[in-house]
Homo-oligomer: A and B are copies of this chain.
């Protein structure tokens, strides 16, 4: 299996459905749809919904039935990028090689497009629960919402922002990376686990794999912000240092950060190997890929 081909196929599946879901007409407020679609179609690897889809496949579940939940996770990720890029936050003008949302639509519409994507994600989840009325549907949605809020992604972003240009403890640094980045990857994995009716033992390994993969993902992002290629990454590098962000390289230096990255990659592989009666080879390869990525 070449995971790049698998990811490419999943990406197409997800992007097609995303555009179907956004095939909406609004007479008096169509501008918000343009702004939402602009950021949703800005590309990227779609790694979170791809993980969700691959968990379902490992459990031999029909992916199409749950594709909207995959799209919801991408919508939540996208809203967070739009708000992150705002002048009041990270003030980024470029994202994946394209002007950021507020550069095209203005700050007001960018704020509202973020709000609208977050809200629309939950509109879709309630509809999903109504059409798939079982308790595990609710648990999957609850996991996603908890991982996206103050106990997850938003909590991490807040700690990230209020500690710019400050020295923090390693515990705080870990908190930021776990919450800012790993939580939404945990959400992708665990929500799919619920929908696949995975047993408790599997759920624990899925959760721990996702945690380790998420940490590896953010540390590799930190490293690439220093040694990465701007053109291949499709975004500015060196921003973390400019903004006084707390990163693993800042705290531990590049070499020690690479060691930490490898540690998380290996732990992720160990965790997923514990699920022995399913083909989880995609996830072992994904962890290796994250450990080695150059852009």
Q: Are B149 and A138 in contact (CB under 8 A)?
A: no
- Choose the segment among A5-13, A115-123, A198-206, A274-282 that binds chain B (4+ C-beta atoms closer than 8 Å): A115-123
Q: A88 — which chain B residues lie within 8 A by C-beta?
A: 86, 88, 106-108, 111
- A195 at interface by CB-CB < 8 Å: no
- A158 at interface by CB-CB < 8 Å: yes
Cβ proximity bits A117-137 to B, threshold 8 Å, 1 near / 0 not: 011101101110110010100
Q: Are B111 and A123 in contact (CB under 8 A)?
A: no
CA gap between A89 and B138 in the complex, in Å: 35
16 A-B contact pairs sorted by A residue (CB < 8 Å):
A26-B155, A27-B175, A28-B155, A29-B162, A31-B158, A88-B88, A88-B108, A108-B161, A116-B149, A116-B158, A122-B145, A123-B142, A123-B145, A127-B142, A129-B138, A130-B142
A24, A114, A176: most-surrounded residue (chain B CB, <10 A) = A114
Q: Are B28 and A172 in contact (CB under 8 A)?
A: yes
- Assuming the contacts A123-B146, A146-B123, asked whether A32 and B154 have C-beta atoms less than 8 A apart, the reply is yes
- A223 at interface by CB-CB < 8 Å: no
CA gap between A176 and B159 in the complex, in Å: 37
- A83 at interface by CB-CB < 8 Å: yes
Return the contact of A116 from the options B33, B123, B129, B150 (Cβ within 8 A).
B150
Q: A36 — which chain B residues lie within 8 A by C-beta?
A: 150
Q: Are B126 and A31 in contact (CB under 8 A)?
A: no
- A141 at interface by CB-CB < 8 Å: yes
- A18 at interface by CB-CB < 8 Å: no
Complex copy number for this chain:
2
- Assuming the contacts A33-B150, A139-B130, asked whether A115 and B28 have C-beta atoms less than 8 A apart, the reply is no
- A63 at interface by CB-CB < 8 Å: no
- Assuming the contacts A149-B116, A176-B28, asked whether A158 and B109 have C-beta atoms less than 8 A apart, the reply is yes
Q: A133 — which chain B residues lie within 8 A by C-beta?
A: 135, 138
State how many angstroms separate the Cβ of A141 from the closest Cβ of chain B. 5
Q: Are A157 and B89 in contact (CB under 8 A)?
A: no
State how many angstroms separate the Cβ of A172 from the closest Cβ of chain B. 5
Q: A119 — which chain B residues lie within 8 A by C-beta?
A: 118, 145, 148-150, 154
- A196 at interface by CB-CB < 8 Å: no
- A254 at interface by CB-CB < 8 Å: no
- A112 at interface by CB-CB < 8 Å: yes
State how many angstroms separate the Cβ of A29 from the closest Cβ of chain B. 4
Q: A106 — which chain B residues lie within 8 A by C-beta?
A: 88
